[in-house]
A and B are shown apart, each in its own frame.
Chain A
Amino acid sequence: MSDNSLPLYIPQSNEVEVFETAFKNQLPLMLKGPTGCGKTRFVAHMAEKLGRPLYTVACHDDLTAADLVGRYLIEGGQTVWRDGPLTRAVREGGICYLDEVVEARKDTTVVIHPLSDDRRVLPIDRTGEQLHAPDDFMLVISYNPGYQNLLKGLKPSTRQRFVSLTFDYPKSDIEQSIVRKETGLDEFTVRQLVDLSNSLRRLKDHDLEESVSTRLIVYTATLIQAGMNPLQACRSALIEPLSDDEEVVAALMDVVNAKLDVF
């Protein structure tokens, strides 16, 4: 990383190039990938790199279009218009990042669609405005495909408006350098942790519903770096977050023991 002020991000492939090209050509972008693999960090990194303000919205099932666009509020008998994050990003020419977009209410498509095709407009019903997005505005959405979202998938008509990038957990050597740079933990322990996590990832859909994320490895490494017993750190940050089944937790802790050489 040449510039130290940027949020740390180590590219796994050509995603930086894709992002930059999409940005320069005013194309919206969709990031797909499992939780904790670096999607949000990637967006933060790119926003900083391109020098654009970033508006992140964590979508939830009660998020409506008004939450994105803005609304009138009554303050002391007066009404005040408050821009939502999306409107602000459009006005300022920033990057608006809708995290886990499938969670949001369906009426959000009303604002997402006209912004994500060649019109690039944001109609604001309430004020009667029609904002034209400047060239340095970019819409980025993310979602986590998987079994759980089957009943709540992304509509093809939405999906097809976005340039897409698929993320996965980084390759072992990249993941090791990420964890080392994030936490400053020694090379040997980091390698052990990453190897261990890769073993555990094989259990997805079999014994575990989710994989070990890079985020969890960073948490674990942080705890160890802060002086916690490595076994305890692995239990708290690596194994317990993955399963509520005591038997599975105990079984996996044996594997952690086997890996970490602390018997």
Chain B
Amino acid sequence: MEEFVGQLWHKYITKAASMEFPDAQVELNDVRHTLSVQFRAFGGDLALELKDSLNKNWKGKRNFLSRLASSEQKLELASIGHNNLYLPKNMAIYPDKELNKRAYLWLVALAASYQPDAEANWLKKNCDAVSQTLKKFPGLRKIYHALATQHVKIREHIKTLKADATEMTIRELLCNPESAKTILEENPDFDPRQAFPVPLWCDPFPVEAERIKSSLKDTIDSSDHAKGEKGKKLNIRKKGEYTSDIDEKDGLMAFRLESIFSWTEFIPVDRTADEDEEDNASMAAEDIDKISVVRGAETKAGKLKFDLDLPGSDQDDITINEGIKLPEWDYRKSLLQKDYCRLHLMEPRRIDSHAFSSKLRERAKRLKAQFEFLAMQKQWLRGQPDGSEIDLERFILRRADELNGQVKQDDNLYMELRQNLRSLSCLLLADLSLSTDSYVSNDSRVIDIIKDSLYLFSEALSATQDRFAIGGFSSKRRDMVRYYPIKTFDENQSEAIRNKISSLSPGYYTRMGTAIRHATNLLEVESTETKLLLLLSDGKPNDIDLYEGRYGIEDTKHAVHEAFTKGIRVFCVTIDDEDNNYLPYIFGSANYIKVKRATELPEKLPKLYSLLTK
């Protein structure tokens, strides 16, 4: 009973304390796609991805009730980082749902105009962005004024918020953004950063936002990192990044009104400072399996399982060739770094005879029959010297010629049904990184699905005339990109290939660009008319070094472009169920497909292939 009352009390008091309007709340997840399209349409950086901002906890000046409710309050920030645009997970700062939606719209429009690299101070950049946005999008004026006046009204109702000079200036700036210039000129020292924050403005302390995110991310958001990376190792890596992130003074901020900014509490969160950078990956790996902290219901089941054991050289797969040097694109320098990566050709150490389920074998048989049928589909060839039917069109033309007094030796008056011969090579490139070790359903991991897909795909294609090859890849830093030539173009489908497919095991990371370049080279020497590179992946490009986030994405994009200039069409099939905005950026909107239910992939892939190559 006591507990029950306690819960009720907690519920009541937190509700009373939060100056939010949960009934009118808008979830970012419901509008994420819309907002990211709008962000780009408003002129935002195409490469940025829209992400949830993370809660910041702090103890600040709060009203009585909120102090009563709990010692810590949550604050959600929206800010711009190097790779992402962060928006609050939900928006409930207005009592009206429509207004909350428009607050999101306003934030993406503002973010699109915000000049993160400008020299000016935060307030100036912020006010500039506001006036720019309103100037460029006059239709937003009414929205903005509605948002601003409503917000000022809400501020007036916050009892602890004293209407001092700073507060009045803030209200003036909110209601009359045109006055910003004069106000800033008259009060060059005006600094409202410690004042009650404004949700329609930029974040005054985005550096801290980045810090918090970086450290929290490792524990909470394993989504980026669960791809076979390791909790602790990441922490360590993150720390290295802080130094560069310090410059990142830019961003937007939205928040829950009950909270007041203070960052004394951030310091203890930054536990990474205790750690030392470790150079040796294998040493790090030893620590790693002890740590995989996952919090929250959103994380995939698969992320809970980490197989972080880096095998000894006698356990590892066999290296056939380790001498293939490939370049890599560095977007910061706009430079293709020659011979930057080394690609090793690998083979599984143990190749067991395959054990594909009878159900799957049955499916393979069926698919094969379908593809045989497709391959057998015939076409009428006109104007043949011999054939089963008369080519009437030709015949009429000839009659006309004859009537006209011309007799030509054109005897090609027949039509014949013949097999439609096309000249096509396809390389299927599968991601074998450790992230594929995660579970997508109760009984199958991503890697199982990939193996099943490769199996069905190879069976289906062996029934056609198309030349095809299968490769798998993973990577561990730039000097060890591992490529498994599972089936070459010249091999025929065989038991050995089936065994190889079934013996694949996941490992390491996803240096996608390098693998694409190798595959491109393999396809380039093919003499067929059409060349297709089909990429099968479950996540973003990433590796243990700097190859992640924007760097990895830009390199992969570049590799795809290189393939394109060599006449190879790249198509990506992904089972990443996150909101992957990076895909169209890398591949172009028409060149990728998301398979929503991963377990359907094996069936879908061959069908997709036949559609693509129609």
Report A's interface with B, CB cutoff 8 A. 71-74, 77-79, 81, 126-128, 147-148, 150-151, 153, 195, 199-200, 202-203, 205-209, 247-248, 250-252, 254-255, 257-263
Closest 3 CB pairs of A and B: A72-B400, A261-B138, A251-B34
Task: Please state if B37 and A251 are interface contacts (CB–CB under 8 Å).
Answer: yes
Does B403 sit at the interface, judged by CB under 8 A?
yes
Q: Which of B41, B105, B569 contacts A200 (CB 8 A)?
A: B41
Q: Which of A77, A127, A206 has the most CB of B within 10 A?
A: A206
The residue in chain A whose Cβ has the minimal distance to the Cβ of B101 is A254
Task: Please state if A199 and B33 are interface contacts (CB–CB under 8 Å).
Answer: no
Task: Please state if A259 and B137 are interface contacts (CB–CB under 8 Å).
Answer: yes
Does B518 sit at the interface, judged by CB under 8 A?
no
Bound-state CA distance A147–B564 (Å) is 9
Bound-state CA distance A255–B35 (Å) is 10
B564 → A minimal CB distance (Å) = 7
8 inter-chain pairs at a CB distance below 8 angstroms, sorted by A residue, are A71-B397, A78-B403, A126-B401, A147-B564, A150-B564, A205-B588, A251-B34, A257-B139
Bound-state CA distance A256–B401 (Å) is 61
Residues of A within 8 A of B34 (CB): 247, 250-251, 254
The residue in chain A whose Cβ has the minimal distance to the Cβ of B588 is A205
Residues of A within 8 A of B109 (CB): 258
Residues of A within 8 A of B567 (CB): 150, 153
Q: 1/0 per residue B583-599: CB within 8 Å of A?
A: 01100111100000000
Residues of B within 8 A of A126 (CB): 397, 401, 406
Task: Please state if B590 and A147 are interface contacts (CB–CB under 8 Å).
Answer: yes
Task: Please state if B40 and A150 are interface contacts (CB–CB under 8 Å).
Answer: no
Q: 1/0 per residue B41-55: CB within 8 Å of A?
A: 111001000000000
Interface bin, chain B: 35 or more
Q: Is the interface of B mostly helix, strand, loop or mixed?
A: helix
Does B378 sit at the interface, judged by CB under 8 A?
no
The residue in chain A whose Cβ has the minimal distance to the Cβ of B585 is A206
Residues of B within 8 A of A250 (CB): 34
Q: Among residues 409 to 442 in chain B, which have CB atoms less than 8 Å away from a CB atom of chain A?
A: none
Q: 1/0 per residue B373-411: CB within 8 Å of A?
A: 000000000000000000000001101110110100000
Q: Among residues 8 to 60 in chain B, which have CB atoms less than 8 Å away from a CB atom of chain A?
A: 33-35, 37-38, 40-43, 46
B312 → A minimal CB distance (Å) = 45
Bound-state CA distance A199–B139 (Å) is 15
Residues of B within 8 A of A72 (CB): 397, 400-401, 404
Given contacts A147-B591, A205-B590, 16 further A-B contacts (CB under 8 A): A72-B401, A72-B404, A74-B399, A74-B403, A128-B406, A147-B564, A153-B567, A199-B43, A206-B40, A206-B589, A207-B41, A207-B589, A251-B37, A252-B37, A258-B139, A259-B138
**In the complex with contacts A202-B46, A203-B40, A258-B42, A79-B589 CB distance below 8 A:** no
Residues of A within 8 A of B138 (CB): 259-261
Residues of A within 8 A of B46 (CB): 202, 206
From B120-128, B140-148, B214-222, B249-257, give the one contacting chain A: B140-148
Q: 1/0 per residue B573-613: CB within 8 Å of A?
A: 00000000000110011110000000000000000000000
Bound-state CA distance A71–B394 (Å) is 11
Does B488 sit at the interface, judged by CB under 8 A?
no
Bound-state CA distance A71–B399 (Å) is 12
Bound-state CA distance A261–B139 (Å) is 3
Task: Please state if B140 and A247 are interface contacts (CB–CB under 8 Å).
Answer: no
Residues of B within 8 A of A247 (CB): 33-34, 37
Q: Which of A71, A78, A263 has the most CB of B within 10 A?
A: A263
Total of A-B residue pairs, C-beta within 8 Å: 108
Report B's interface with A, CB cutoff 8 A. 33-35, 37-38, 40-43, 46, 105, 109, 136-143, 396-397, 399-401, 403-404, 406, 530, 564, 567, 569, 584-585, 588-591
Task: Please state if B590 and A199 are interface contacts (CB–CB under 8 Å).
Answer: no
Q: Which of B34, B42, B105, B400 has the most CB of A within 10 A?
A: B400
Residues of A within 8 A of B137 (CB): 255, 258-259
Q: Which of A71, A77, A79, A207 contacts B40 (CB 8 A)?
A: A207
A37 → B minimal CB distance (Å) = 19
Task: Please state if A205 and B400 are interface contacts (CB–CB under 8 Å).
Answer: no
**In the complex with contacts A147-B590, A255-B41, A259-B137, A206-B584 CB distance below 8 A:** yes
Task: Please state if A73 and B33 are interface contacts (CB–CB under 8 Å).
Answer: no
The residue in chain A whose Cβ has the minimal distance to the Cβ of B584 is A206
Bound-state CA distance A253–B71 (Å) is 43
Task: Please state if B569 and A74 are interface contacts (CB–CB under 8 Å).
Answer: no
Q: Which of B42, B530, B585 contacts A199 (CB 8 A)?
A: B42
Bound-state CA distance A67–B261 (Å) is 75
Residues of A within 8 A of B588 (CB): 147, 205
Residues of B within 8 A of A263 (CB): 139, 142-143
Residues of A within 8 A of B585 (CB): 206
Q: Which of A199, A209, A254, A262 contacts B105 (CB 8 A)?
A: A254
Task: Please state if B590 and A255 are interface contacts (CB–CB under 8 Å).
Answer: no
A75 → B minimal CB distance (Å) = 10
Task: Please state if B403 and A252 are interface contacts (CB–CB under 8 Å).
Answer: no
Task: Please state if B589 and A205 are interface contacts (CB–CB under 8 Å).
Answer: yes
Bound-state CA distance A71–B404 (Å) is 12
Task: Please state if B42 and A255 are interface contacts (CB–CB under 8 Å).
Answer: yes
Task: Please state if A258 and B105 are interface contacts (CB–CB under 8 Å).
Answer: yes
A116 → B minimal CB distance (Å) = 23
Task: Please state if A251 and B397 are interface contacts (CB–CB under 8 Å).
Answer: no
B593 → A minimal CB distance (Å) = 14
A82 → B minimal CB distance (Å) = 11
Residues of A within 8 A of B139 (CB): 257-263
Bound-state CA distance A252–B140 (Å) is 14
Task: Please state if B41 and A251 are interface contacts (CB–CB under 8 Å).
Answer: yes
Bound-state CA distance A71–B398 (Å) is 11
Task: Please state if A74 and B396 are interface contacts (CB–CB under 8 Å).
Answer: yes
Bound-state CA distance A127–B401 (Å) is 8
Q: Which of B41, B142, B585 has the most CB of A within 10 A?
A: B41
Task: Please state if A151 and B530 are interface contacts (CB–CB under 8 Å).
Answer: yes
Bound-state CA distance A258–B136 (Å) is 9
Task: Please state if B569 and A202 are interface contacts (CB–CB under 8 Å).
Answer: no
Bound-state CA distance A256–B136 (Å) is 12
